[in-house]
Chain A
Protein backbone atom coordinates (compact mmCIF):
# COMPACT_ATOMS: atom_id res chain seq x y z
CA UNK A 1 0.00 0.00 0.00
CA UNK A 2 1.13 3.49 -0.92
CA UNK A 3 2.49 5.43 2.14
CA UNK A 4 -0.10 8.17 1.64
CA UNK A 5 -2.83 5.52 1.56
CA UNK A 6 -1.54 4.18 4.86
CA UNK A 7 -1.48 7.67 6.31
CA UNK A 8 -5.06 8.35 5.17
CA UNK A 9 -6.17 5.02 6.59
CA UNK A 10 -4.56 5.88 9.94
CA UNK A 11 -6.21 9.29 10.00
CA UNK A 12 -9.63 7.90 9.08
CA UNK A 13 -9.20 5.28 11.77
CA UNK A 14 -8.27 7.90 14.38
CA UNK A 15 -11.02 10.38 13.53
CA UNK A 16 -14.54 9.81 14.78
CA UNK A 17 -16.13 11.85 11.98
CA UNK A 18 -15.94 11.99 8.18
CA UNK A 19 -12.80 13.72 6.89
CA UNK A 20 -12.81 15.73 3.67
CA UNK A 21 -10.19 15.43 0.95
CA UNK A 22 -8.91 18.89 1.93
CA UNK A 23 -8.53 17.82 5.54
CA UNK A 24 -6.73 14.62 4.56
CA UNK A 25 -4.40 16.62 2.31
CA UNK A 26 -3.08 18.46 5.39
CA UNK A 27 -1.54 15.17 6.57
CA UNK A 28 1.28 15.52 4.11
CA UNK A 29 2.49 18.91 2.84
CA UNK A 30 3.55 17.29 -0.44
CA UNK A 31 0.16 15.69 -1.13
CA UNK A 32 -2.31 17.25 -3.55
CA UNK A 33 -6.05 16.68 -3.63
CA UNK A 34 -5.58 14.31 -6.54
CA UNK A 35 -3.01 12.30 -4.56
CA UNK A 36 -5.45 11.98 -1.67
CA UNK A 37 -8.24 10.96 -4.01
CA UNK A 38 -6.01 8.27 -5.55
CA UNK A 39 -5.05 7.09 -2.06
CA UNK A 40 -8.73 6.90 -1.06
CA UNK A 41 -9.48 4.88 -4.18
CA UNK A 42 -6.70 2.48 -3.29
CA UNK A 43 -7.97 2.20 0.27
CA UNK A 44 -11.52 1.58 -0.90
CA UNK A 45 -10.38 -1.17 -3.24
CA UNK A 46 -8.20 -2.62 -0.51
CA UNK A 47 -11.21 -2.96 1.80
CA UNK A 48 -13.41 -4.12 -1.04
CA UNK A 49 -11.31 -6.88 -2.49
CA UNK A 50 -9.43 -7.87 0.64
CA UNK A 51 -12.80 -8.82 2.16
CA UNK A 52 -12.53 -6.62 5.22
CA UNK A 53 -15.10 -6.07 7.95
CA UNK A 54 -15.04 -2.34 7.32
CA UNK A 55 -15.44 -0.23 4.20
CA UNK A 56 -14.69 3.30 3.09
CA UNK A 57 -17.89 5.30 2.81
CA UNK A 58 -18.33 8.72 1.26
CA UNK A 59 -20.73 10.84 3.28
CA UNK A 60 -21.40 14.39 4.44
CA UNK A 61 -18.83 15.76 2.02
CA UNK A 62 -16.09 13.53 3.40
CA UNK A 63 -14.94 9.97 3.91
CA UNK A 64 -15.32 7.66 6.86
CA UNK A 65 -14.41 4.08 7.65
CA UNK A 66 -17.55 2.25 8.74
CA UNK A 67 -18.32 -1.35 9.62
CA UNK A 68 -20.17 -3.36 7.00
CA UNK A 69 -23.92 -3.51 7.50
CA UNK A 70 -23.90 -7.32 7.89
CA UNK A 71 -22.00 -7.02 11.17
CA UNK A 72 -24.25 -4.43 12.86
CA UNK A 73 -26.59 -6.89 14.57
CA UNK A 74 -23.80 -9.03 16.05
CA UNK A 75 -21.84 -6.01 17.26
CA UNK A 76 -24.94 -4.57 18.88
CA UNK A 77 -25.86 -7.90 20.47
CA UNK A 78 -22.44 -8.04 22.08
CA UNK A 79 -22.99 -4.46 23.27
CA UNK A 80 -19.84 -3.07 21.69
CA UNK A 81 -21.79 -0.29 20.01
CA UNK A 82 -25.36 0.77 19.34
CA UNK A 83 -27.19 1.73 16.18
CA UNK A 84 -28.50 5.30 16.11
CA UNK A 85 -32.03 5.81 17.38
CA UNK A 86 -34.76 5.99 14.78
CA UNK A 87 -36.29 9.37 14.16
CA UNK A 88 -39.99 9.91 14.86
CA UNK A 89 -42.35 10.51 11.91
CA UNK A 90 -42.80 14.11 13.10
CA UNK A 91 -39.02 14.63 13.17
CA UNK A 92 -38.59 13.09 9.71
CA UNK A 93 -41.38 15.19 8.19
CA UNK A 94 -39.93 18.35 9.72
CA UNK A 95 -36.46 17.43 8.45
CA UNK A 96 -37.93 16.77 5.00
CA UNK A 97 -39.51 20.23 4.85
CA UNK A 98 -36.30 21.86 6.04
CA UNK A 99 -34.09 19.86 3.68
CA UNK A 100 -36.11 20.87 0.63
CA UNK A 101 -37.11 24.40 1.57
CA UNK A 102 -34.06 25.68 3.41
CA UNK A 103 -33.64 28.35 4.56
CA UNK A 104 -37.13 28.03 5.97
CA UNK A 105 -38.97 29.54 8.92
CA UNK A 106 -41.13 27.87 11.49
CA UNK A 107 -44.39 29.28 10.06
CA UNK A 108 -43.83 27.65 6.67
CA UNK A 109 -42.97 24.31 8.28
CA UNK A 110 -46.17 24.46 10.33
CA UNK A 111 -48.21 25.44 7.27
CA UNK A 112 -46.96 22.45 5.31
CA UNK A 113 -47.28 19.91 8.11
CA UNK A 114 -50.49 21.35 9.57
CA UNK A 115 -49.18 21.09 13.14
CA UNK A 116 -47.18 23.27 15.47
CA UNK A 117 -43.48 22.57 15.15
CA UNK A 118 -41.86 24.23 18.17
CA UNK A 119 -41.08 21.07 20.11
CA UNK A 120 -39.77 19.14 17.12
CA UNK A 121 -37.57 22.04 16.01
CA UNK A 122 -36.08 22.28 19.47
CA UNK A 123 -35.23 18.59 19.67
CA UNK A 124 -33.80 18.57 16.15
CA UNK A 125 -31.65 21.52 17.11
CA UNK A 126 -30.55 19.75 20.29
CA UNK A 127 -29.49 16.76 18.20
CA UNK A 128 -27.61 19.19 15.91
CA UNK A 129 -29.48 17.91 12.84
CA UNK A 130 -30.66 21.42 11.97
CA UNK A 131 -29.17 24.82 12.63
CA UNK A 132 -30.28 28.41 12.50
CA UNK A 133 -28.97 29.81 9.22
CA UNK A 134 -30.37 33.32 9.39
CA UNK A 135 -33.37 35.50 9.95
CA UNK A 136 -36.20 36.26 7.58
CA UNK A 137 -36.86 39.84 6.50
CA UNK A 138 -40.53 39.31 7.35
CA UNK A 139 -42.45 40.52 10.35
CA UNK A 140 -40.74 39.74 13.65
CA UNK A 141 -37.68 38.62 11.68
CA UNK A 142 -38.26 34.91 12.43
CA UNK A 143 -35.39 32.44 12.56
CA UNK A 144 -34.63 30.45 9.43
CA UNK A 145 -33.50 26.85 9.69
CA UNK A 146 -31.29 24.68 7.51
CA UNK A 147 -29.91 21.15 7.74
CA UNK A 148 -26.50 20.53 9.33
CA UNK A 149 -23.59 18.31 8.19
CA UNK A 150 -24.71 15.85 10.88
CA UNK A 151 -28.01 15.49 9.02
CA UNK A 152 -26.10 14.21 5.98
CA UNK A 153 -24.08 11.92 8.22
CA UNK A 154 -27.18 10.48 9.85
CA UNK A 155 -28.77 9.69 6.49
CA UNK A 156 -25.54 8.56 4.90
CA UNK A 157 -25.74 11.20 2.15
CA UNK A 158 -22.77 12.74 0.41
CA UNK A 159 -24.58 16.04 -0.01
CA UNK A 160 -28.11 17.43 -0.34
CA UNK A 161 -28.14 16.49 -4.05
CA UNK A 162 -28.37 12.85 -2.93
CA UNK A 163 -31.93 13.51 -1.74
CA UNK A 164 -34.61 12.34 -4.18
CA UNK A 165 -35.48 14.96 -6.80
CA UNK A 166 -38.90 16.55 -6.59
CA UNK A 167 -39.88 15.22 -10.01
CA UNK A 168 -39.11 11.68 -8.91
CA UNK A 169 -41.67 11.89 -6.16
CA UNK A 170 -45.02 12.24 -7.89
CA UNK A 171 -45.99 8.64 -7.25
CA UNK A 172 -46.10 7.87 -3.57
CA UNK A 173 -44.27 4.98 -1.95
CA UNK A 174 -42.18 4.13 -4.96
CA UNK A 175 -39.30 1.88 -3.92
CA UNK A 176 -36.19 4.00 -4.03
CA UNK A 177 -33.10 3.19 -6.07
CA UNK A 178 -30.42 1.95 -3.63
CA UNK A 179 -27.69 4.51 -4.29
CA UNK A 180 -27.43 7.60 -6.43
CA UNK A 181 -24.09 7.01 -8.08
CA UNK A 182 -22.29 9.08 -10.60
CA UNK A 183 -21.11 7.16 -13.66
CA UNK A 184 -17.45 7.92 -12.87
CA UNK A 185 -17.23 6.12 -9.53
CA UNK A 186 -19.93 3.53 -10.14
CA UNK A 187 -17.59 0.57 -10.45
CA UNK A 188 -15.77 1.53 -7.26
CA UNK A 189 -19.01 1.40 -5.27
CA UNK A 190 -19.66 -2.30 -5.55
CA UNK A 191 -22.32 -3.29 -3.01
CA UNK A 192 -20.87 -4.88 0.09
CA UNK A 193 -22.21 -8.38 -0.45
CA UNK A 194 -21.00 -9.05 -3.97
Chain B
Protein backbone atom coordinates (compact mmCIF):
# COMPACT_ATOMS: atom_id res chain seq x y z
CA UNK B 1 0.00 0.00 0.00
CA UNK B 2 2.76 2.47 0.90
CA UNK B 3 4.26 3.00 -2.48
CA UNK B 4 6.44 5.97 -1.57
CA UNK B 5 7.91 4.45 1.55
CA UNK B 6 10.84 2.68 -0.06
CA UNK B 7 12.33 1.40 3.15
CA UNK B 8 10.04 1.31 6.16
CA UNK B 9 12.05 0.98 9.38
CA UNK B 10 12.26 -2.59 10.47
CA UNK B 11 11.18 -2.83 14.05
CA UNK B 12 11.03 -6.31 15.45
CA UNK B 13 7.56 -7.27 16.56
CA UNK B 14 7.10 -6.64 20.23
CA UNK B 15 10.35 -4.73 20.51
CA UNK B 16 10.13 -1.19 21.83
CA UNK B 17 11.33 1.23 19.16
CA UNK B 18 12.81 3.88 21.39
CA UNK B 19 13.86 6.27 18.67
CA UNK B 20 12.07 7.21 15.47
CA UNK B 21 14.07 7.97 12.37
CA UNK B 22 12.11 10.27 10.11
CA UNK B 23 11.62 8.73 6.71
CA UNK B 24 12.77 10.57 3.63
CA UNK B 25 9.61 9.45 1.88
CA UNK B 26 7.36 11.89 3.73
CA UNK B 27 8.37 15.34 4.80
CA UNK B 28 5.67 15.50 7.48
CA UNK B 29 2.19 14.41 8.56
CA UNK B 30 0.49 16.75 6.07
CA UNK B 31 2.54 15.19 3.29
CA UNK B 32 1.46 11.71 4.39
CA UNK B 33 -2.16 12.85 4.60
CA UNK B 34 -2.04 14.31 1.09
CA UNK B 35 -0.50 11.09 -0.13
CA UNK B 36 -3.37 9.07 1.38
CA UNK B 37 -5.95 11.39 -0.18
CA UNK B 38 -4.28 11.15 -3.57
CA UNK B 39 -4.16 7.38 -3.32
CA UNK B 40 -7.89 7.25 -2.58
CA UNK B 41 -8.56 9.91 -5.22
CA UNK B 42 -10.41 12.03 -2.71
CA UNK B 43 -11.09 15.74 -3.03
CA UNK B 44 -9.43 17.65 -0.21
CA UNK B 45 -12.60 19.66 0.38
CA UNK B 46 -14.62 16.52 1.10
CA UNK B 47 -12.50 14.30 3.31
CA UNK B 48 -14.17 11.19 4.72
CA UNK B 49 -12.55 11.77 8.11
CA UNK B 50 -13.38 8.41 9.67
CA UNK B 51 -11.79 6.45 6.84
CA UNK B 52 -8.77 8.74 6.45
CA UNK B 53 -8.25 8.79 10.21
CA UNK B 54 -8.10 4.98 10.34
CA UNK B 55 -5.78 4.88 7.35
CA UNK B 56 -3.51 7.52 8.83
CA UNK B 57 -3.20 5.60 12.09
CA UNK B 58 -2.52 2.40 10.19
CA UNK B 59 0.07 4.09 7.99
CA UNK B 60 2.07 5.68 10.79
CA UNK B 61 2.00 2.37 12.61
CA UNK B 62 3.27 0.51 9.55
CA UNK B 63 5.94 3.12 8.93
CA UNK B 64 7.07 3.15 12.53
CA UNK B 65 6.17 6.82 12.78
CA UNK B 66 3.73 6.36 15.66
CA UNK B 67 6.27 7.72 18.09
CA UNK B 68 7.16 10.86 16.15
CA UNK B 69 5.51 13.83 17.85
CA UNK B 70 4.54 15.59 14.62
CA UNK B 71 2.68 12.55 13.32
CA UNK B 72 1.09 11.81 16.69
CA UNK B 73 -0.27 15.33 16.90
CA UNK B 74 -1.93 14.96 13.50
CA UNK B 75 -3.27 11.54 14.52
CA UNK B 76 -4.88 13.01 17.64
CA UNK B 77 -6.40 15.85 15.57
CA UNK B 78 -7.93 13.34 13.18
CA UNK B 79 -9.33 11.21 15.99
CA UNK B 80 -10.87 14.32 17.52
CA UNK B 81 -12.42 15.31 14.19
CA UNK B 82 -13.78 11.81 13.75
CA UNK B 83 -15.41 11.99 17.19
CA UNK B 84 -16.86 15.44 16.47
CA UNK B 85 -18.41 14.22 13.24
CA UNK B 86 -19.83 11.11 14.91
CA UNK B 87 -21.67 13.17 17.52
CA UNK B 88 -25.34 13.60 16.58
CA UNK B 89 -26.53 17.10 15.71
CA UNK B 90 -29.97 18.44 14.92
CA UNK B 91 -30.71 18.99 11.23
CA UNK B 92 -31.85 22.56 11.69
CA UNK B 93 -28.61 23.61 13.43
CA UNK B 94 -27.84 26.89 11.68
CA UNK B 95 -24.63 27.68 13.53
CA UNK B 96 -22.99 24.35 12.76
CA UNK B 97 -19.55 24.65 11.23
CA UNK B 98 -17.86 21.79 9.49
CA UNK B 99 -15.08 20.81 11.93
CA UNK B 100 -13.04 19.71 8.92
CA UNK B 101 -12.75 23.28 7.64
CA UNK B 102 -9.53 24.02 9.51
CA UNK B 103 -7.91 20.81 8.32
CA UNK B 104 -9.00 21.46 4.75
CA UNK B 105 -7.56 24.97 4.91
CA UNK B 106 -4.24 23.65 6.20
CA UNK B 107 -4.09 20.92 3.58
CA UNK B 108 -4.76 23.35 0.74
CA UNK B 109 -2.17 25.75 2.10
CA UNK B 110 0.34 22.96 2.46
CA UNK B 111 -0.41 21.68 -1.02
CA UNK B 112 0.36 25.12 -2.37
CA UNK B 113 3.65 25.20 -0.48
CA UNK B 114 4.47 21.78 -1.90
CA UNK B 115 3.81 23.04 -5.38
CA UNK B 116 6.04 26.06 -4.84
CA UNK B 117 8.73 23.85 -3.35
CA UNK B 118 8.59 21.66 -6.41
CA UNK B 119 8.87 24.67 -8.70
CA UNK B 120 11.80 25.97 -6.67
CA UNK B 121 13.46 22.57 -6.78
CA UNK B 122 13.37 22.45 -10.57
CA UNK B 123 14.46 26.10 -10.78
CA UNK B 124 17.48 25.24 -8.61
CA UNK B 125 18.21 22.23 -10.79
CA UNK B 126 18.09 24.31 -13.96
CA UNK B 127 20.36 26.89 -12.36
CA UNK B 128 22.80 24.18 -11.22
CA UNK B 129 23.32 23.26 -14.87
CA UNK B 130 25.10 26.57 -15.35
CA UNK B 131 28.44 26.83 -13.63
CA UNK B 132 30.01 30.01 -12.36
CA UNK B 133 33.72 30.60 -12.27
CA UNK B 134 35.37 28.23 -9.82
CA UNK B 135 35.78 29.56 -6.35
CA UNK B 136 39.39 29.70 -5.25
CA UNK B 137 40.00 29.93 -1.54
CA UNK B 138 42.29 32.85 -0.59
CA UNK B 139 45.96 31.96 -0.59
CA UNK B 140 47.20 31.55 2.99
CA UNK B 141 49.63 34.24 4.09
CA UNK B 142 53.18 33.16 3.22
CA UNK B 143 55.72 32.92 6.06
CA UNK B 144 57.70 36.07 6.84
CA UNK B 145 61.13 36.47 5.21
CA UNK B 146 64.08 35.57 7.48
CA UNK B 147 65.01 38.37 9.90
CA UNK B 148 68.21 40.25 9.19
CA UNK B 149 69.45 42.14 12.25
CA UNK B 150 72.54 42.50 14.41
CA UNK B 151 72.95 41.72 18.08
CA UNK B 152 72.70 45.35 19.16
CA UNK B 153 69.39 45.88 17.40
CA UNK B 154 67.99 42.71 18.95
CA UNK B 155 69.12 43.72 22.46
CA UNK B 156 67.49 47.12 21.96
CA UNK B 157 64.30 45.37 20.91
CA UNK B 158 64.42 43.17 24.00
CA UNK B 159 64.90 46.25 26.15
CA UNK B 160 61.94 47.95 24.52
CA UNK B 161 59.80 44.88 25.17
CA UNK B 162 60.92 44.69 28.80
CA UNK B 163 60.32 48.41 29.28
CA UNK B 164 56.80 47.94 28.04
CA UNK B 165 56.01 45.37 30.73
CA UNK B 166 54.17 47.19 33.53
CA UNK B 167 55.97 46.79 36.90
CA UNK B 168 56.81 43.08 36.84
CA UNK B 169 55.27 41.26 39.76
CA UNK B 170 56.94 37.95 40.36
CA UNK B 171 55.58 35.32 42.64
CA UNK B 172 58.33 34.15 44.93
CA UNK B 173 58.31 30.50 45.88
CA UNK B 174 59.68 30.14 49.41
CA UNK B 175 61.55 26.93 49.83
CA UNK B 176 60.57 25.09 52.99
CA UNK B 177 62.54 21.91 52.89
CA UNK B 178 61.35 19.08 55.05
CA UNK B 179 63.91 17.97 57.60
CA UNK B 180 63.25 14.23 57.47
CA UNK B 181 66.73 13.29 58.72
CA UNK B 182 66.42 15.61 61.68
CA UNK B 183 63.03 14.13 62.56
CA UNK B 184 64.49 10.61 62.28
CA UNK B 185 67.32 11.47 64.66
CA UNK B 186 64.86 13.02 67.08
CA UNK B 187 62.54 9.94 67.03
CA UNK B 188 65.50 7.59 67.45
CA UNK B 189 66.66 9.62 70.42
CA UNK B 190 63.20 9.51 71.97
CA UNK B 191 63.02 5.73 71.47
CA UNK B 192 66.43 5.38 73.13
CA UNK B 193 64.94 6.99 76.21
CA UNK B 194 61.63 5.10 76.32
CA UNK B 195 60.45 1.97 74.51
CA UNK B 196 57.10 3.52 73.52
CA UNK B 197 56.25 7.07 72.54
CA UNK B 198 53.09 8.72 71.23
CA UNK B 199 52.61 10.72 68.02
CA UNK B 200 52.48 13.94 70.03
CA UNK B 201 55.80 13.08 71.70
CA UNK B 202 57.35 12.59 68.30
CA UNK B 203 56.05 15.93 67.07
CA UNK B 204 57.46 17.97 69.92
CA UNK B 205 56.19 21.35 71.06
CA UNK B 206 54.64 23.86 68.58
CA UNK B 207 55.20 21.91 65.36
CA UNK B 208 54.89 23.69 62.01
CA UNK B 209 53.28 22.04 59.02
CA UNK B 210 56.75 21.24 57.72
CA UNK B 211 57.58 19.60 61.08
CA UNK B 212 54.43 17.44 61.01
CA UNK B 213 55.19 16.28 57.48
CA UNK B 214 58.85 15.65 58.37
CA UNK B 215 57.89 13.52 61.38
CA UNK B 216 55.30 11.59 59.41
CA UNK B 217 57.77 10.80 56.62
CA UNK B 218 60.48 9.92 59.15
CA UNK B 219 58.12 7.53 60.98
CA UNK B 220 57.10 5.82 57.76
CA UNK B 221 60.72 5.56 56.67
CA UNK B 222 61.86 4.09 60.01
CA UNK B 223 58.94 1.66 60.04
CA UNK B 224 59.85 0.58 56.52
CA UNK B 225 63.41 -0.06 57.61
CA UNK B 226 62.10 -2.06 60.59
CA UNK B 227 63.62 0.38 63.05
CA UNK B 228 60.32 0.83 64.90
CA UNK B 229 56.77 -0.46 65.08
CA UNK B 230 53.64 1.53 64.45
CA UNK B 231 50.61 0.21 66.32
CA UNK B 232 47.10 1.32 66.76
CA UNK B 233 45.51 -0.64 69.65
CA UNK B 234 41.92 0.17 68.66
CA UNK B 235 40.18 1.94 65.81
CA UNK B 236 40.75 5.72 66.08
CA UNK B 237 43.00 5.17 69.11
CA UNK B 238 46.23 7.21 69.31
CA UNK B 239 49.12 5.72 67.39
CA UNK B 240 51.75 3.94 69.48
CA UNK B 241 55.33 4.21 68.29
CA UNK B 242 57.35 1.39 69.78
CA UNK B 243 61.01 0.46 69.68
CA UNK B 244 61.63 -2.62 67.53
CA UNK B 245 63.37 -4.88 70.00
CA UNK B 246 64.71 -7.41 67.50
CA UNK B 247 66.37 -4.69 65.41
CA UNK B 248 67.41 -2.00 67.81
CA UNK B 249 67.59 1.42 66.29
CA UNK B 250 71.05 2.26 65.10
Contact = CB atoms under 8 A, between A and B. Distances in A.
24 contacts: A66-B131, A68-B130, A69-B126, A69-B130, A72-B128, A72-B130, A80-B134, A83-B131, A84-B127, A89-B121, A90-B28, A92-B118, A93-B113, A96-B113, A99-B120, A113-B27, A113-B30, A114-B74, A155-B123, A156-B124, A157-B123, A163-B119, A169-B115, A169-B116
A80 B123 CA distance: 23
Given A93-B27, A114-B28, A69 B129 contact: yes
A172 interface: yes
Interface in B16-41: 24, 27-31
B133 A86 contact: no
B130 A67 contact: yes
A176 B130 contact: no
A72 B127 CA distance: 11
A116 interface: yes
Contacts of B69: 116
Contacts of B29: 114-115
Given A99-B116, A156-B123, 7 more contacts: A16-B132, A55-B130, A57-B130, A65-B133, A84-B124, A115-B29, A155-B123
Contacts of B128: 72, 83-84, 86
B223 to A, nearest CB: 65
Interface in A80-101: 80-81, 83-84, 86-90, 92-93, 95-97, 99-100
Given A87-B124, A155-B120, A172 B113 contact: no
Contacts of A57: 130
Interface of B: 24, 27-31, 69-70, 73-74, 106, 109-135
Contacts, number: 128
A1 interface: no
Interface size class of A (residues with CB under 8 A): 35 or more
Contacts of A86: 121, 124-125, 128
A49 to B, nearest CB: 19
A37 to B, nearest CB: 22
A52 B234 CA distance: 101
A47 interface: no
A164 interface: yes
Contacts of B124: 84, 86-87, 92, 154-156
Interface in A41-77: 55, 57, 59, 64-69, 71-72, 75
Contacts of A115: 27-29, 70
A64 B132 contact: yes
A84 B123 CA distance: 12
